[in-house]
Amino acid sequence: MPELPEVETTVRGLASVLDGRRLTRVETRRADLRRAFPPDLRQRMTGARITGLGRRAKYGLVHTDRDDTMIFHLGMSGKWRIDPDELGPHDHLVIETEEGRRLSLADPRRFGSVDLVATAAVDAWPAFAAMGPEPLGPGFTVAALAAALAGRAAPIKAMLLDQRIVAGLGNIYVCEALNMARIAPTRPAGGIARPRIERLVEAIREVLAAAIEAGGSTLRDYARPDGELGYFSHQFRVYGREGEACPCGGTVQRRVDAGRSTFHCARCQR
């Protein structure tokens, strides 16, 4: 269930098994996810040594000593499993290290993707080239967000889901951050005053950092053979909590915008 914190947690879990290791086997068990697997994926990855892992927005990066970078996206239902007991119909990509560790990318809905890019060209990869700053990086400043929102009439929620504005937020953390910043999801983005933008930047950083922290505590769980992750949904302030109490004492409401649920509190979010 992957937004930025889940991908970050996944990458850290993968790194514990993959970093510095050589791949002895790479198997694609179907031809495609959202799009076809790279035709040379097996050939390029088999025998390669993993030189590092990383993350950009909701994408995971696996660098090799052949100057390739495998870029994966988990879509809505993607999940890496470490040393699964057995493979099921949704284990679409399986890789093995020289130590005999086995990693499987399972994705029932197949909204995910796997691509292979020259490491030097990763930043220029189309999906990345158009992307806004990393919300936890130095480029995500009050000034930068204010500039990106200036003149935009669209509701702030839609703007924050736009990866060109800021990269890595999804529906859950946008709802959470807007609640923390006490900003109504429908508020036109271009009209938000500076102090509110300051609150918003702070809230985005805070909620993501807290979620990564929480995800980090599940790394051991992640490495369990069954690969199940806990998502700490009990920490959500508003997401999935329609009718429950907002921290401010108001009641969490649900509305639908552009076909997606928005959870918010009309009392404190203005």
Partner DNA sequence: CCGACAACCTGACGGC
Partner DNA sequence: TGCCGTCAGGTTGTCG
Neighbours of 28 (CB within 10 A): 19
User: Counting contacts by CB under 7 A, is residue 110 touching DNA?
Assistant: yes
Determine whether 85 is exposed, middle or buried from the number of CB atoms within 10 Å of its CB (0-12, 13-18, 19+): exposed
CA-CA-CA-CA dihedral for 173, 176, 180, 185, to nearest 10? 100
Q: In the structure encoding, which two tokens stand for residue 157, read together? A: 């929620």
CB-nearer residue toward DNA: 98 or 123: 123
The footprint of DNA on residues 142-171 (CB under 7 A) is 151-155, 158, 161, 163, 169-171
Q: Which of 47, 52, 54, 75 binds DNA (CB under 7 A)?
A: 75
Closest CA to 81 of 57, 105, 64: 105
Q: Min. distance of Cβ 113 from DNA in angstroms?
A: 8
Q: Which of 44, 90, 196, 255 binds DNA (CB under 7 A)?
A: 90
User: Counting contacts by CB under 7 A, is residue 76 touching DNA?
Assistant: yes
CB-nearer residue toward DNA: 30 or 43: 30
Q: In the structure encoding, which two tokens stand for residue 124, read together? A: 């220029």
Pick left, alpha or beta for residue 94 (phi over 0 → left; psi -120 to 50 → alpha; otherwise beta): beta
Contact 215, 8 (CB under 8 A): yes
Q: Which of 138, 195, 243, 259 binds DNA (CB under 7 A)?
A: 259
- Spell out the residues 6+ positions from residue 93 whose beta carbon is closer than 8 angstroms to its own: 26, 27, 28, 29, 37, 104, 105, 114
Stretch that binds DNA, among 72-80, 192-200, 219-227, 243-251 (CB under 7 A): 72-80
Q: Which of 34, 42, 44, 187 binds DNA (CB under 7 A)?
A: 34
* Separation CA 111–CA 90 (nearest Å): 12
Residue 223 DSSP one-character state: T
CB-nearer residue toward DNA: 225 or 230: 230
User: Counting contacts by CB under 7 A, is residue 187 touching DNA?
Assistant: no
User: Counting contacts by CB under 7 A, is residue 84 touching DNA?
Assistant: no
CB-nearer residue toward DNA: 42 or 90: 90
CB-nearer residue toward DNA: 25 or 90: 90
Q: Which of 51, 77, 141, 251 binds DNA (CB under 7 A)?
A: 77
Strands (E), 57-120: 59-64, 68-73, 79-82, 91-97, 102-106, 113-118
Residues serving a catalytic function are 2-3, 58, 260
Please tell me the count of residues contacting DNA according to CB under 7 A. Answer: 35
What does the binding site for DNA look like in residue numbers (CB under 7 A)? 1-3, 6, 34, 57-58, 73, 75-77, 89-90, 108-111, 127, 151-155, 158, 161, 163, 169-172, 231, 258-261
